[in-house]
Each structure stands twice: as structure tokens, then as C-alpha cells.
């Protein structure tokens, strides 16, 4: 799940009105900054799964997640062992409004 990454940055939020959008903006900026430094990165949602299990409260405490905050999204950062070409665009999934 973590692709043997040496670093996972987690973004938490308080569930307020713009929290999800702000969390997305933060993780995108981290990914772009990592890429600009020549680091591989991968945005992950499954990083929060351990926080939902029986030991979730223990993990939250160890990670010093403040009371009332929840995992939003994460980004793995490290040295990429391989790269892939970008996905082909599927023009049928894009609507252009003129």
C-alpha cells in the first residue's frame, strides 16, 4: 500500500466547509514541490485505513493528530524506482463549453 516509500505526509482536517478542497490543494502542492525536487511521489487515500481499525485511536495519538481532526489524504515521497508515461486522454470524458 505504501510502495516502500520512506516518507508519507498525511493531511488531516476538521471536516469544516472547505476542508476537503483545502486538503486537496495542499496535497497537490506537496506533490508538485516533490516532483520539482526530482522526488517521486504518489497521492494516496488508503493511507488512512489503519486509522479506522481497532488501533486507530492509538495511531492517531502517536501521530499527534489533534482531537476533532481526521485523516483527509496522504502523499508518499521518495525516490521513484520506475516511471510511467502519462495516461492517454479520453476526449469523450471531457466536455468543452463555448
- Could you report the per-residue pLDDT of 40-88, keeping only the tens digit for each? 999 999 888 988 899 999 999 999 999 999 999 999 999 988 778 878 8
Q: What is the pTM of this model?
A: 0.79
Please compute the mean of the pLDDT values over residues 11-30 and round it to a whole number: 97
Residue 35: closest CA among 77, 82, 81? 77
Task: With beta carbons less than 8 A apart as the criterion, state whether 13 and 72 touch.
Answer: yes
State how far the Cα of 11 lies from the Cα of 8, in Å rounded to an integer: 10
Residue 13: closest CA among 1, 32, 31, 26? 26
| pLDDT surpassing 90 at residue 19 | yes
Give the least confident one: 14-28, 51-65, 84-98: 84-98
Task: Identify the residue with better confidence: 94 or 27.
Answer: 27
Task: Please tell me the CATH code under which domain 7-81 is placed.
Answer: 3.40.109.10
Domain boundaries, the chain: 7-81
Q: What confidence score (pLDDT) does residue 83 get?
A: 79
Amino acid at each position: 500500500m505504501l510502495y516502500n516509500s520512506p516518507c508519507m505526509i498525511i493531511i488531516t482536517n476538521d471536516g469544516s466547509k472547505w476542508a476537503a478542497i483545502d486538503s486537496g490543494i495542499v496535497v497537490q502542492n506537496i506533490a508538485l514541490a516533490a516532483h520539482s525536487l526530482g522526488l517521486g511521489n504518489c497521492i494516496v487515500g488508503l493511507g488512512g485505513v489503519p486509522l479506522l481499525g481497532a488501533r486507530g485511536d492509538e495511531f492517531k495519538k502517536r501521530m499527534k493528530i489533534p482531537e476533532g481532526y481526521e485523516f483527509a489524504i496522504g502523499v508518499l515521497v521518495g525516490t521513484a524506482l520506475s516511471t510511467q508515461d502519462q495516461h492517454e486522454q479520453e476526449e469523450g470524458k471531457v466536455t468543452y463549453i463555448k
